[in-house]
Structure 1
């Protein structure tokens, strides 16, 4: 892949042979995040597990202490009092069957997170083939299938992020924006790493954190020393 001049200049600032401390990596990623827009800072964490095995899955959700810096649009499947609770909490879209046709027939995806009450999962299940591949299917483990829809919406708006393994046993999670100060990015990243550490499956053997890389939207990756996590 051909890289531009700006990317190459950023690349020179990063020692590719070095494993940085978390604080050093955060400081450096802010230094190279020089795009004309507010770049997203992401963590990419490779774990010593095998996601093909059910007893080695790593999945959950946390509220980052300083949020993600991103405005999140929430779709809630609920009826009656629970629908009103979702509206009061600030959900952008609240309803039931009418959204099934809108998504399947109109290819409508003007939302970032889907929440559903348990009694609505029979309806939402019809969207599995559509929402599943996009990572939008509600799930009890991530707190998006719940009768506490008000709390769920509030948590999502406050900066709740879901972490889960991809097929290569890597977790990809945004931890803030380049405009965040270093302390906020450090807090967010450390809370994420601690949550993933606590979620370590008992079946996982050997080194758990295989690699941790911090990147901004337009910069090369910066490797964190996993031994110091």
Structure 2
């Protein structure tokens, strides 16, 4: 078992591991337990009552957090001609056509989100084995395969995030930084949870939201009462 630092153990004393907290209380507590000397990211993990092995029980989507994530998101755009200029003017960090495909094939992965125009997907498809495992493959459902690259880049830079249930039935997502304060973190949390509930598959049976845990980058997990979240919808 990994040895925990003194600050983590002190933060852990503030958390009742047997309690299911209300949203407001949990977010106030996660601020107190983010004790590292940097602006820790606040993350949410939602365990769902779905079976991701079945195509009709996949949970994925996008949501724009009202206050962003606090992270400087690096965006790469695969596009041709005037669309390269459009992407760059919208704030893309990297943009190009076959040259950019070759660069990624060569090992370049210094970006957080990849966007592609539909006419580039024939070439970008070759990068599936590289981008897929890292969750970076452009996808129409996520709005990252589009000719409107300017709009897509601006949305990502403004705080649009993609979420997807993993094989352990959990959706992970950042909802901001400790420095955001309770009000902004609460807004982002509620917006994210609304998107998760909206993405519920029609084939999902029984309890959909099994558990919700919030934590800072280096802090302990704080469990939120999922029933209270559902009741407010």
Q: TM-score, normalised by structure 1?
A: 0.98
Look up the match of 1:11.
Answer: 12
Look up the match of 1:85.
Answer: 86
Counterpart contact for 2:78–2:101, Cα < 8 Å: no
1:217-228 pair list within 5 angstroms: 217-228=217-228
Give secondary structure in 1 for the equivalent of 2:179.
coil
CA offset digits 1:168-208 (Å, max 9, x no partner) = 01000000001111010000010000011011000000001
Could you tell me how far 1:100 is from its partner in structure 2? Answer: 2.0
Alpha-carbon distance in structure 1 between the residues aligned to 2:49 and 2:110: 36
Alpha-carbon distance in structure 2 between the residues aligned to 1:143 and 1:134: 17
Look up the match of 2:151.
Answer: 151
Alpha-carbon distance in structure 2 between the residues aligned to 1:208 and 1:93: 39
Could you tell me how far 1:104 is from its partner in structure 2? Answer: 1.8
In the TM superposition, structure 1's runs of 4+ consecutive aligned residues that sit over 6 Å from their partners are: none
Could you tell me how far 1:80 is from its partner in structure 2? Answer: 1.7
Unaligned runs of 5+ in 2: none
Unaligned runs of 5+ in 1: none
Alpha-carbon distance in structure 1 between the residues aligned to 2:222 and 2:157: 29
Look up the match of 2:109.
Answer: 109
Look up the match of 1:31.
Answer: 32
Check if 1:180 corresponds to 2:184.
Answer: no
Look up the match of 2:189.
Answer: 189
Could you tell me how far 1:77 is from its partner in structure 2? Answer: 0.6
Give the number of equivalent residue pairs. Answer: 228
Alpha-carbon distance in structure 1 between the residues aligned to 2:84 and 2:104: 19
RMSD of the TM alignment (CA)?
0.7
